[in-house]
Amino acid sequence: MAILITKQNLSRHSDTLEKVYRLRHRFFVHHKKWETLAKADEREIDEFDTPEAVHIVGLDDSGDISTYTRLLPTTAPHLPSDVYPELLQGNPEPTGPDIWEWTRAAINPFKRDSGKGASRIKGEFYAAVVETCLHLGIRALLVEAHPGLITSAIDVGFHTRPLALPTEYGGEPVVPFFCEVTEATLPRTQEVFGLTTPVLQVDEIGIEAPALERRAG
């Protein structure tokens, strides 16, 4: 199951968010070797972790964090606009209140299911993201990642297209791509991973939709 941490319930989940920042450091700095993110206090937190950020936290039966990912509004500073504009190679970047950037995807390697086939944890991770989009009125996600993840995005049901050719960053190919959520997306995700129930727990808080708020305001 997964929970959303947004500005609406930030105070209630400050402990979890602390665990998130420490998990991010272990995962991205130590496991993925993204040295540029290293922090002396072992908390991986950056300038985009504002109250506007949405954190999707996957929890296992013992309440430990099994997966994590972060969505950032494209109507505020985010990676392609502020840090890596060269990734788009001069191509226009789709932005808007219903387009969010999908960042910091982490599946806890120690929590992964063993064996082949579509792992349940991975499935719940993707389903949580898709369900979040549906709850928050997010039409599409912007991703900068290894080209191999384009296949994953297509597999789980996003209508995906590249925004530029891959370039190299830190010795690895990186490509910006666009994932649209359609009516077919969630059923497809559930079908691929054999999920029959929603993953996201939204009843505990009245989740306001930041995107819809912005449209109204």
155 sits near other proteins (criterion: CB under 8 A): yes
Residues that bind other proteins (rule: CB under 8 A) add up to a total of: 20
* Of 27-35, 37-45, 116-124, 204-212: span binding other proteins (CB under 8 A): 116-124
* Of 3-11, 37-45, 106-114, 160-168: span binding other proteins (CB under 8 A): 160-168
Give the shortest CB-195-to-other proteins separation in angstroms.
13
Q: Among residues 141, 150, 181, 211, which is the contact residue for other proteins, using CB under 8 A?
A: 150
Distance CA 53, CA 44 (A): 14
N- to C-terminal Cα distance for the chain?
Answer: 32
Q: Among residues 18, 162, 184, 215, which is the contact residue for other proteins, using CB under 8 A?
A: 162
147 sits near other proteins (criterion: CB under 8 A): yes
Enumerate binding residues for other proteins (CB under 8 A): 116-118, 122, 126, 147-148, 150-152, 154-156, 162, 165-167, 173, 175, 192
